Structure 1
Amino acid sequence: MCIYGRTHSSGKVSPDQLLFLSKPFSRMSHNSVNQTSSPAPKFYDAIILGASGFTGKYVVREALKFLNAPNSPLKSLALAGRSPGRLAEALKWAVGADSPRNIPLLTADTTDPDSLSRLAAQTKVILNCVGPFRLYGQAVVSACVDAGCDYIDISGEPEFMERMEALYHEKAVEKGSLVISACGFDSVPAEMGLLFHSRQWAGPSAPNRVEAYLSLESDKKIVGNFGTYESAVLGVANADKLVEFRRSRPKRARPAIPGPAPPKGSLIEHHQQLGLWALKLPSADSVVVRRTLATLTENPHGLPGVNETADDLKKREAFWSSVKPAHFGVKLGSKSLLGLFPYIMLGIFIGLLCRIALGRRLLLKYPSFFSLGGFRKEGPSEEEVASATFKMWFVGHGFSDASLASKGNKKPDTEVVTRVAGPEIGYLATPIILIQCALVVLSKRGSLPKGGVFTPGIVFGPTDLQERLQENGISFDFISKNALSA
């Protein structure tokens, strides 16, 4: 597939032409699948699970731009959730005034394993938008792995992602199920942005550390996704469990990075070149990047595709040979120090309250109060969403010649700055990213790994995902390369 545009020639669905399906299979079709020894035919290219949620309805709207578009691999699509009525409302919202088309609405519940098995048995890939994923995600992953269908989601929850790898990786490889979390704003801009940045260090030069400065901008008040807020509260509440889990797991390989480990630095800094005050974040992006770099260290040429061609192999090896690993961290940027105050207060509130049950209940019941208006249960208005944008600046410090790093504790002498930019992160950028990841899976499946639980970077790095994102409103730009004073 070579189309990257965000428009399509045909229309979408009107309310009077919706197709309601209370069960994804009829009894006859379900029985016939069980009786055959050959793989069951897939009814749909993709199913969006949680399509009626705050983020899910934006994912539906984005998906419809590519359904049956010229050269698009997305020829059939279904929406799934607990309530056909809510799915119909979400679809009506997503369709707007466009001309009609039938989209099946399938009933499924993350607490009903049979309903999830039926979904996974009839699609090539499930796009999961039901969070928090620590509460609702594992059953979906399990159903997809059992059925051998692919799975992608928008999770930004490190514990969920790492547990899914521990529990399902080997079985996913066996079944041919590709499981990829963090296919939204968490963590594709960070992963693809770092890979893009890394390739700017040409020849003998090499990065030592790269810091990403995330700047959220809007001419209206920025309102965050409540699901992100809820995941953060539950993540901090269970931080001890994650530490314990990581200690129980085998140590992963670490990449060889030229030069010394970077200093920890201060919690808050002022970056004069970017004009930003920055707050260090305990970001899922950093965790996902480290997992990608660990997998790359274990597989220096990347992961072979299940049916890759000689050209695919050559492209994959050439891509990964151009990638140079670096220490990576993320900071939240603001044009004023005062702009960081709500985030600092939210961090204090979560740190103090989330370890006790009453505190968690208060945090989740009154998100607007504890976030000083930064999050609210009803989500942002469409006007607030449309007015927001993001910029993620990647500032890399390294060596003009990697051999210099081995000469004592020589400080980095080169700085490279790149940038990823796009629309509002939760409801616009995330759907764009998720749908483009799904289109890559559908169109490039033979050049992707047979199966397994992986991060987006290691799977999508050598593909055309960056170009697709670029053509759909998320830009990747080289900004500058400068020598640093001694």
Structure 2
Amino acid sequence: QHKYRATPPIKSPFPKSLPLSYSPHPPNPWPPPTPPPARGSREFDVVILGASGFTGRYVVREALKALSAPSSPLRSLALAGRSPSKLAAALRWASSSSPSPPPSIPLVPADASDPASLLALARRARLVLSCVGPFRLYGAPVAAACAAAGADYLDISGEPEFMERLEADLHPQALESGSLLVSACGFDSVPAEFGLLFHSHHWTARGAVPNRAEAYVSLESERRIVGNLGTYESAVLGVANVEKLQELRRSRPRKPRPVIPGPPPPKGPLIEHQKTIGLWAIKLPSADSVVVRRTLATLTENPQGLPGVNESEDFAEKRKQFWSSVKPAHFGVKIGSKSILGMLRFIFTGLFIGLLGKYSFGRKILLKFPEIFSLGWFRKTGPTEEEVRSATFKMWFIGKGYSNQSVASQPGSKLDTEIITRVSGPEIGYLTTPIILIQCALIVLGQRENLPKGGVYTPGIVFGPTDLQQRLQENGITFDVISTKTDQN
């Protein structure tokens, strides 16, 4: 028997039907009438919003594992969305692999176009996990409600404009209310961020100095690879709003850039044959590079990282040591395939989205026929369970730099050292993303005193000094050193 708590309908100032270029900012026009309840006294540890969506169902399944673990800090969970019947179906699906019946979990009505319902929801939760993409259309009011209610917030967005606008609009309020807002807590962009941090530590351990690190993403499967439809929709809308992102960046103060020894990397060819790892690759316009740059900018301003709201002395020392071993480097991401023919699907999908996404009619047909314009890479029905289980990813980090500080400080020195590391794991959208999101949530619940009081930040700067990497490794996402070499000439 599911608990069901209805919220009285309130007319929303936001349109029910959102146009493709809609961006609801400033997000929440209704501040809370009374101070928000203390975080420890709230009804739910975690609320998953958008739980009935493709990715949301898998997030629920991962959350149920944590809910049943004896020592888990997750003790109370609720699912939220527009349709209670769909939420109930998602809960049944998520618990279908368990021999016991579905647990009694409250289903709470909430609508991303109704700020009042979101604010009421956020006031009942310690932490809201948002799966309501595309985030450019539906994400901002959710984060705004959390900032107003003093609730923590994590999402799985991979949309640069949404994330940067969130920082511009909500950072001051989140600082004041003690609401920690962290986007990109999924495959976008934790493997890239933590893969780069892992990579950087190995340069420091050798006394070497990195100049650049290029990440190569390889998606593999014994069956057909089917991408997350939300990723496709976000890419289409991203093209439509690229000028808004540029305008936003021009309107904000420039963040400090880290000092990186040596020259910037050359542009290189459109299609690269990276023989070292056996991949053909092309530049991937993902959020990873943007998120990494934001983390490095924050680290430049705060060389010892961000102190926790009530961190222990031991953790403070750990945090300082962790960040002292991270060296900045130029960073980029490419997507790779083992054959040149495999690159054609990436190229043609990018061309279709880049050309048609600029126009309203083009966006309509792109979103109506994703399977055609992605050459089968994305489809509205999503992947089958067998396709999800058979898929894996590898993210290779090929770093180049100097063997020591002395070489790095000499003008015109050649890059004489190469380190290759790798992050690998299960399917990216429905397995890896829920694992990452739930492990981040467990850290927020169990180690909140070691995290910043509030504000809008990236996953790397918030979770870097915690045990997130260890948790990911325990859940099937591995971090490995592949090779190191130094040119003796």
The match for 1:158 is 160
Q: CA separation in 2, counterparts of 1:276 and 1:261?
A: 23
Identity of aligned residues (%): 66
Q: Please tell me the residue identity of whatever aligns with 2:183.
A: S
Per-residue CA deviations over 1:328-387 (Å, capped at 9, x if unaligned) read 000101000100101100111111111111111011100000000000111000010000
Structure 2 letter corresponding to 1:287: V
Please name the residue that 1:479 is paired with: 482
| 1:469 Cα deviation from its structure 2 partner | 0.3
Asked if 1:98 is matched to 2:82, the reply is no
SS in 2 for 1:337: coil
Q: TM-score, normalised by structure 1?
A: 0.93
Q: Specify the alignment match of 1:30 in structure 2.
A: none
Structure 2 match to 1:54: 54
Tell me which residue corresponds to 1:10: none
Aligned pairs (5 A) from 1:408-423 = 408-423=411-426
Provide the residue aligned with 2:305 in structure 1.
Answer: 302
Aligned pairs, number: 463
Query: Does residue 108 of the first structure (1) align with residue 129 of the second (2)?
Result: no
State the match for 1:366 in structure 2: 369
Indicate conservation of the 8 Å contact 1:24/1:118, yes or no.
no
Matches within 5 A, 1:244-259: 244-259=247-262
Q: Structure 2: how far apart are the matches of 1:405 and 1:187?
A: 29
Residue equivalent to 1:42 = 42
What is the alpha-carbon distance in structure 2 between the residues aligned to residue 172 and residue 238 of structure 1? 25
Cα distance change on mapping 1:122 and 1:276 into 2, 3 Å: same
Aligned partner of 1:103: which letter? I
Cα distance in 2 for residues equivalent to 1:482 and 1:383: 40
CA distance in 1, matches of 2:294, 2:448: 22
| 1:479 positional shift | 1.0
Aligned match of 1:167 in 154, 166, 169?
169
The structural deviation recorded for 1:256 is 1.1
> In the alignment, does 2:236 pair up with 1:237?
no
Indicate whether 1:200 and 2:206 are aligned. no
- Where does structure 2 lack aligned partners over 5 or more consecutive residues? 10-31
Distance (Å, rounded) in 1 between the aligned partners of 2:131 and 2:99: 24
Q: Report the more deviating stretch, 86-95 or 234-243.
A: 234-243
Structure 2 matches for 1:196-345, cutoff 5 A? 196-201=198-203, 202-345=205-348
Say if 1:83 and 1:352 are closer, same or farther in 2 by CA, change over 3 A. Answer: same
Corresponding position: 1:398 with 2:401:
yes
Q: Is the 8 A contact 2:62 2:434 kept in 1?
A: yes
Counterpart-to-counterpart distance in 2, 1:237 and 1:403: 47
- CA RMSD, 1 decimal: 1.5
Structure 2 Cα separation of the partners of residues 473 and 287 of structure 1: 26
Q: 1:305 to 1:339 in 2, by over 3 A?
A: same
**Once the 2 structures are TM-superposed, how far is the Cα of residue 237 of structure 1 from its aligned partner?**
1.3
Please list the CA deviations of residues 204-240 of structure 1 after superposition, one character each: whole Å capped at 9, or x if unmatched.
3111000001000001110011110000001011111
Aligned counterparts, 1:337-356, within 5 A:
337-356=340-359
Counterpart amino acid of residue 55 in structure 1: T
Aligned residue number for residue 85 of structure 1: 85
In structure 2, relative to structure 1, the CA distance for the partners of 1:322 and 1:24 (3 Å cut) is farther
Aligned equivalent of 2:469, options 456, 459, 466? 466
Worse-superposed segment, 344-353 or 399-408: 399-408
Structure 2: distance between partners of 1:146 and 1:212: 37
Residues 1:36 and 1:438: Cα distance change in structure 2 (over 3 Å): closer
